[in-house]
Amino acid sequence: MLTRRMIPFTCLTAFLFAGLTTNAAEAGKNETRLEGRLSGSIAEPLASGKAKFEKRAKRIRFSVQAEDLMFASSISVSVNGVTVGTAAVKLGFADLNLNGSSIPAMQAGDTVKVFDETGTLVLSGTLSGK
């Protein structure tokens, strides 16, 4: 049974809880997390990799990791035909890590392609929701 002293406390608790759940739900709406497996092409059949995109209220990140690149010395990465960055290949591995507002918006279904220094396709894949 509620007493007169408990009613203000109960109302305040309910008010705060409602605000926290609303803020958490709104924060989730502003976040995007995508991932995609990258498969080797005819030029680099053993190569593999992954791409990740993360957008939060104050942070945007995009990364591509490639491995087992036997012939490439550098890579360039494009999303939907737009080049977003380049990275050196060392011992068959390459990592591209981008941060900031210069990264284009991405969504599920976007295509990630990785090319070697001659413009030959070495990896490709599609981003999907995480």
Other beta carbons within 10 Å of 106: 21
Q: Quote the pLDDT of residue 30.
A: 76
Give the global pTM: 0.77
Length of the chain: 130
β-strand pairing of 48-56 with 128-129: unpaired
DSSP-derived letter for residue 30 is T
CA–CA gap between residue 46 and residue 39 (Å, rounded): 8
Calculate mean pLDDT across residues 27-50: 91
Calculate mean pLDDT across residues 39-62: 96
The answer to whether residues 51 and 63 touch, using CB atoms and an 8 Å cutoff, is: yes
Calculate mean pLDDT across residues 116-129: 97
Q: Phi and psi for 81 in degrees, rounded to 5?
A: 85, 0
